[in-house]
Structure 1
Amino acid sequence: MLTNSGYDQYVSNSINTATPEELTLMLYNGLVKFIMQAQSAAIVRDLEKANEAMKRAQAILVEFRSTLNMNYEVSKYLESIYEYMHRQLLQANIKKDKDILEEVLGYAKDLRDTWTKAMKLAKQQHNIRPSEVIAK
């Protein structure tokens, strides 16, 4: 039987051994997961759970914005997307609006899928970082 401490150790090891690219993918997956949790909670009117999930998604967006390398043109574009998504999550949280959550979820999935493709391309092209693939 896998205990919580065993699972926690597995997660900790996964994070500690992940490449920066894999950590970014984990964050995108977390962003999608928390938005979906907020949607589910909003549907059943569990406002506390919806609020907590939206706050966690917002924290990921803040992290993304704080780690952007503004030497790349694409970073300016991503910053505006992250900022917009963050604002929309604030509005969704205030209004408990499932349509706004659906919109932000679409952006989160698109960003995650683009990052996944960039990781695959970088791996095929050997020694190129996904951020360099996206910047081109």
Structure 2
Amino acid sequence: MSIQAYQNNSVETASPGELTLMLYNGCIKFIKLARTSMENNEIEKKNTNIQKAQNIIQELMVTMNQEYAISKQIMPLYDYMYHRLIEANTKNDVAILDEVQGLTEEFRDTWKQVILKTRQQQHGKGALAK
């Protein structure tokens, strides 16, 4: 199986929670690439990678389930992150990229815990112990 086929299969068989986790990881990856491009003065690459990170944050915003009260707390943070990426892009500011990466990593790490707790509740307490 090719890497592309494996990646496509991973996305197609992932739960909504796992897809969200993939989005966070993708956003972090693109922010890191943008940072490297910024440091190497590769303006076009920097711009492309920041835009990819922005697209992921937009996707997270669009797909958020608004029925949960926590959504009203998360949405302004996503909006803040999105606008900080614009600022990082226009100002070539690595510190802003680091800030948004840190926020994204916090979301990702929290989301991982949510997935683990959900699996434990669905499959019994000891099912995920490794």
**TM-score when scaled to structure 1?**
0.87
Q: How does 1:1-136 map to 2 (within 5 A)?
A: 6-126=2-122
Secondary structure of 1:73's match?
Answer: coil
Shift of 1:7: 1.6
Unpaired stretches in structure 1, ≥5 consecutive residues:
128-136
Match of 2:126 in 1: none
**What is the rounded CA distance, in whole Å, between the counterparts of 2:70 and 2:30 in structure 1?**
25
Unpaired stretches in structure 2, ≥5 consecutive residues:
124-130
Secondary structure of 1:11's match?
Answer: helix
Give the share of equivalent positions with the same residue, in percent.
41
Greater mean alpha carbon deviation, residues 103-112 or residues 66-75:
66-75
